[in-house]
Amino acid sequence: MQRSTIREILKLTHKKNMISFAGGLPAPELFPLKRFGQALAQTIREDGAAALQYDVTEGYRPLKEFLCGWLRRRGLRCGPENMMLTNGSQQALDLLGKVLLDPGDTILVEDPTYLGALQAFNAYEPAYEAVPMDSEGLRVDEAAQAAARRTPAFAYLVPTFQNPSGVTMSVARRKAFLKIARRRGFPIVEDDPYGLLRFYGRETPSFYELAQGRGVIYLSTFSKILSPGIRLGFVVSEPAMITALVLAKQAADLQPNSLIQRAVNRYARGGFLDGHIPVIIRAYRERAGLMLRMMEKYFPRSVGWEEPAGGMFIWARLPAGASASRLFKMAVRQNVAYVAGSVFHACGGGDHTLRLNFTNSSPEQIREGIRRLGRLFTAEL
């Protein structure tokens, strides 16, 4: 296993005065410290010892019930038997690898895709079919060919506000891909950490909704809407899949954190989650807009990008032949950082691409950082 490139970059970018668009960190100034602190205190006071004792592997039932109701409002019909809690979505990816993969199995992924998923799956020694994307998301024609070459063990997709590309897969494409998955008989892992962070437009129905839950494993997390440090995510799927994942979690670390689950349940049932998400959206929409305006102003015409309708990232394309990794080293010397796109490509390529995060920088940092990058790109491209 390789040390995570992103985590290594994060260390580098902890340098003082560094303007970092490299990480995928939420804005810390938006964490609901007071409300969540109150939920914690109330949990200790009212739940007492149960908050510190062992609990069931599948997750705290009242929280599961809350989440099911909350998801139903977004079109995901599920009950507690369809759900388990995990240590962020990352643990779900690891457990899925353990449950679904034999060495040499193929995973169909978007090209580019979330690096953390590749890291989780790599421990189980799979092969990848990396299917290209365009502005409507996964190229379903290419996916059909890939699935015909060899039926994948599963497809892993981040269909909404994708990390790293920011792209959202259209409903038509989702329906078409679902048909392919049905015909070939492979499940779809739908990773949705950003779906609630929508700046514009209407929500795209999830694969889980379109498939009415059949053959879809839906993952989401509290990391981007509450706190990543509390490590709490959830999986929604068919009961048999949940049972298999629960057994894997039991072996992996027994259960989710009792205290955190209860505190999140209190916080969420208090309505604070619903109240807080619009605050995050407003801030991120402003930062994304500012970053896009600055890119428009300072980046040379040869650099292209698409405006994300939500999420945390802008994906940029340098002209063919340019190297985002080479330019990264020069950028860091000018105290500004991004992630060179090649690390997000399961099967190589993409060195002319790069990912910019806009959620973890102030407006001033966005202005100054993009100005520096613009100067560098103008000089070097």
Given candidates 2, 17, 240, 333, which one binds a copy of itself under the rule CB under 8 A? 2
Identify residue 296 by its one-letter amino acid code: E
- Is residue 4 a contact residue for a copy of itself (CB under 8 A)? yes
Please say which residue, 102 or 202, places its beta carbon nearer to a copy of itself.
102
Residues facing residue 321 across a β-bridge: none
Whole-angstrom Cα distance, residue 135 to residue 138?
9
- Is residue 41 a contact residue for a copy of itself (CB under 8 A)? yes
Residues 155-184 interacting with a copy of itself (rule: CB under 8 A): none
Given candidates 7, 179, 182, 183, which one binds a copy of itself under the rule CB under 8 A? 7
Phi, psi for 51 (deg, rounded to 5): -70, -20
Given candidates 184, 231, 269, 371, which one binds a copy of itself under the rule CB under 8 A? 231
- Nearest to residue 242, comparing CAs of 81, 103, 41? 81
- Is residue 234 a contact residue for a copy of itself (CB under 8 A)? no
Residue 284 · residue 194 · CB < 8 Å: no
- Nearest to residue 120, comparing CAs of 130, 128, 131? 128
- Is residue 257 a contact residue for a copy of itself (CB under 8 A)? yes
Angle at 53 between CA 48 and CA 59, to 5 degrees: 105
Whole-angstrom Cα distance, residue 137 to residue 37?
39
**Residue span binding a copy of itself (CB under 8 A) among the ranges 128-136, 183-191, 205-213, 240-248:** 240-248
Whole-angstrom Cα distance, residue 159 to residue 171?
10
- Is residue 122 a contact residue for a copy of itself (CB under 8 A)? yes
Given candidates 19, 55, 100, 340, which one binds a copy of itself under the rule CB under 8 A? 55
Given candidates 26, 126, 137, 166, which one binds a copy of itself under the rule CB under 8 A? 26
Given candidates 20, 57, 165, 357, which one binds a copy of itself under the rule CB under 8 A? 57
- Is residue 54 a contact residue for a copy of itself (CB under 8 A)? yes
Given candidates 9, 13, 21, 36, which one binds a copy of itself under the rule CB under 8 A? 36
In the Cβ-directed half-sphere of 135, how many Cα atoms lie within 13 Å?
8
DSSP assignment of 152-167 equals: -SEEEE--SS-TTT--
* DSSP reduced 3-state for 200: coil
First to last CA, the chain: 34
Residue 84 · residue 253 · CB < 8 Å: no
Which helix (H) or strand (E) segment holds residue 135: the answer is none
Whole-angstrom Cα distance, residue 16 to residue 26?
19
- Is residue 279 a contact residue for a copy of itself (CB under 8 A)? no
- Helix, strand, coil share of the chain (percent; to 5): 50, 15, 35
Whole-angstrom Cα distance, residue 158 to residue 195?
9
Given candidates 94, 190, 191, 192, which one binds a copy of itself under the rule CB under 8 A? 94
**Residue span binding a copy of itself (CB under 8 A) among the ranges 39-47, 105-113, 182-190, 330-338:** 39-47
Residues facing residue 84 across a β-bridge: 235
- Is residue 281 a contact residue for a copy of itself (CB under 8 A)? no
State the nearest-atom distance from the C-beta of 113 to a copy of itself, in Å. Answer: 15
Please say which residue, 54 or 200, places its beta carbon nearer to a copy of itself.
54
- Is residue 277 a contact residue for a copy of itself (CB under 8 A)? no
State the nearest-atom distance from the C-beta of 163 to a copy of itself, in Å. Answer: 14
Please say which residue, 87 or 162, places its beta carbon nearer to a copy of itself.
87
- Is residue 40 a contact residue for a copy of itself (CB under 8 A)? yes
Residues that bind a copy of itself (CB under 8 A): 1-4, 7, 23, 25-26, 28-29, 31, 33, 36-37, 40-41, 44-45, 48-57, 86-88, 90-91, 94, 98, 116, 119-120, 122-123, 226-231, 244, 247-248, 250-260
